[in-house]
Amino acid sequence: MGAHVPGRETEDLAAAARETLVREIDASGAWAADPVWREAFLAVPRHLFVPYYYIGSVGGYARCWGESADPVARERWLIGAYADSPLATRLRDGELLSSSSQPSLMARMLTELRVRDGDRVLEIGTGTGYNAALLAHRLRDDSLVTTVDLEPEITDAARGHLAAAGHHPTVVTGDGFRGVPEHAPYDRIIATCALSTVPRAWLTQCRPGGRILTPLATGLIALTVTDADHAEGRFLDTPAYFVPLRGAAPPEREPQLGGVPRRGREHDLYRFLIALTRSGPGPQEAYALWEQEGRPERERYGITLAGDQAWAWLDDPEGPYVWPLPG
């Protein structure tokens, strides 16, 4: 599943493309808090994890393939593999099943995961295997990384990609909503797929003091686990849009947005608020609250999990603005 044209020329082009990508991530400030990730992105060859990917077009998707007979197309594939953009990697009947996330967002998430030497990490959503390879490189021990995905064809391909890159973490085919209890406990859990709630199984599989980072409501929530029944944390300031988790409890359908705003950053924040408070105020009431409270950014919102209850909040988990979340 590797590139059609091996050899020094291809490797040199890939290395140069990686260096360009790393400079772009440098400029974004994504790993300012933990620059050790810079070396991981320089070392792990993303193109080995995306032997083909799809580019959206007016008529649907066009495939870029590393084994194309056209040398120009192969070079375009290789350069595209190192673009700071998400890559659609698996489709079914026109529906996106799996993708390789935007590298600068991956760098931000890995930095915010606050991994330490010796940590055991569970990744929910194996995808291409690229993120698992970055974790394995950072931890310098493949046995510390477990990654799970629902589709056998995804996990089988990821194992091949990882082996080609010289890594052999534990790759499990299963429902990420249930975690991977047989390899618990974990110090860190990271999800690369969208959810509507944080599964309680993840808390039971995470050590006290551990950290969970997951997409939720078009944002990224970072939770500190107190014990198997309690966790709390705030959202990061960045938006995040991921392929939904498929399994026992997929995300609810996103509600239609009514009223204003309709575009730009305000629309993005409004969309986040509606997704987060879907069990609370309606769209117009939510927008009025957002205006009243000074148009709060994502990082002013948080989530608390306590027993069988979960709620989102603005500024204070015991403050006046709290909304129930799905159990």
The CATH number given to whatever domain includes residue 190 is: 3.40.50.150
Residues 155 and 19 in one domain: yes
Average pLDDT score over the chain: 89
Report how far residue 131's alpha carbon sits from residue 242's, in angstroms, rounded to the nearest whole number.
Answer: 14
Residues 151 and 299 in one domain: no
Residues 309 and 190 in one domain: no
Report how far residue 232's alpha carbon sits from residue 236's, in angstroms, rounded to the nearest whole number.
Answer: 13
Give the pLDDT confidence of 295-316 residue by residue, as tens digits: 999 999 999 999 999 999 999 9
Q: Last residue of some domain: 235, 255, 290?
A: 235
Residues 203 and 64 in one domain: yes
Q: Has residue 246 been placed in a domain?
A: no
Q: Has residue 126 been placed in a domain?
A: yes
Cα 118 to the chain's mean position, in Å?
A: 22
Could you say which of 28, 57, 98, 101 is catalytic? 98
Report how far residue 269's alpha carbon sits from residue 149's, in angstroms, rounded to the nearest whole number.
Answer: 30
Residues 186 and 317 in one domain: no
Q: Last residue of some domain: 219, 235, 251?
A: 235
Residues 210 and 270 in one domain: no
Read off the pLDDT band of 255 (50, 70, 90): very low
- What average pLDDT score do residues 33-55 get? 95
The closest alpha carbon to 303, from 227, 205, 212, 239, belongs to 212
Burial class (CB in 10 A: 0-12, 13-18, 19+), 135: buried
Residues 222 and 272 in one domain: no
| 98 counts as catalytic | yes
Q: Has residue 248 been placed in a domain?
A: no
DSSP 216-248: ETTEEEEEEEEETTEEEEEE-SS----PBP-SS
Range of the domain at 320: 264-324
Whether 247 shows a pLDDT value over 90: the answer reads no
Q: Last residue of some domain: 214, 235, 256?
A: 235
Residues 209 and 293 in one domain: no
Q: Structurally, how many domains does the chain consist of?
A: 2
